[in-house]
Amino acid sequence: MVHSNPYHLCSGCLSLLFSPFELFLKVRLFMSTQSSSSALHPTTCESSAEASVFLQDVQSGLAKSQKELHCKYFYDERGSQLFDQICELEEYYPTRTELGIMAEHASAIAERIGSEAVLVEYGSGSSTKTRLLLDHLDSAQAYLPVDISGEHLHQTAQQLRVDYGDLDIHPIVADFTTSFRLPASYVSPRTTIYFPGSTIGNLKTEEAIGLLISIAEKCGPSGGLLIGFDLAKDEAVLKAAYDDAAGVTAQFNLNLLHRINRELDADFDVKRFVHVAIYNQEESRIEIFIESLDEQKVCVAGELFHFQPGERIFTEYSHKYRVDQFVSMAAQAGLKMDALWTDSNDYFAVMHLSPV
Residue 265's nearest CA partner among 297, 296, 301 is 301
Q: Supply the pLDDT for residue 41.
A: 42
Going by pLDDT thresholds of 50, 70 and 90, the confidence category of residue 29 is: very low
Nearest to 78 by CA among 49, 44, 104: 44
How many structural domains comprise the chain? 1
Q: Residue by residue, what is the 3-state secondary structure of 104-132?
A: HHHHHHHHHHCCCCEEEEECCCCCCCHHH
Task: Kindly give the pairing relationship between strand 303-307 and strand 312-319.
Answer: unpaired
Domain containing 352 — which CATH number? Answer: 3.40.50.150
pLDDT in tens, 167-185: 999 999 887 877 889 999 9
3-class SS of residue 95 = helix
Task: Give the whole-angstrom CA distance, residue 115 versus residue 15.
Answer: 36
Query: pTM score, two decimals?
Result: 0.79
Question: Considering Cα of 31, then 37, then 42, then 44, what sign does the dihedral take?
Answer: positive
CA–CA distance, 150 with 146 (Å, rounded to integer): 9
CA distance 299 to 302: 6
Residues across the chain: 356
Q: Decide if 339 contacts 110 (C-beta within 8 A).
A: no
Confidence of residue 353 (pLDDT cuts 50, 70, 90): very high
Structural domain harbouring 76: 1-356
Out of 40-54, 238-252, 309-323, least confident range = 40-54
More confident residue, 69 or 156: 69
State the DSSP code for 31: -
pLDDT in tens, 48-86: 877 898 999 999 999 999 999 988 788 788 988 898 899
The pLDDT score that the predictor gives to residue 47 is 66
Indicate the DSSP class of residue 322: -
CA 76 to CA 160: how far, in whole Å?
A: 25
- ∠ CA 49-251-200, rounded to 5°: 65
Under DSSP, the state recorded for 340 is E
Measured distance CA(257)–CA(39) in Å, rounded = 22
CB atoms within 10 A of CB 91: 17
Q: What is the mean pLDDT of residues 213-237?
A: 95
pLDDT above 90 covers a percentage of the chain that reads 67
pLDDT for position 39: 37
Task: Look at 48 and 296; give whichever has higher pLDDT.
Answer: 296
Quote the CA–CA distance of 315 and 274 in Å, as a whole number: 12
CA distance 93 to 335: 28
pLDDT band at 45 (very low <50, low <70, confident <90, very high): low
- Residue 320: name the closest of 21, 15, 8 by CA: 15
Let me know: does 26 contact 177? Beta carbons within 8 Å.
yes
Please give the pLDDT value at position 44. Answer: 56
Average pLDDT over residues 256-264: 97
The predicted model gives 191-207 an average pLDDT of 87
CA distances from 7 to 10, 322, 328 (A): 5, 9, 11
- Distances in Å between the Cα of 251 and the Cα atoms of 116, 255, 324 are 45, 6, 36
Dihedral sign from CA coordinates of 145, 150, 153, 154: positive
- pLDDT(285) > 50: yes
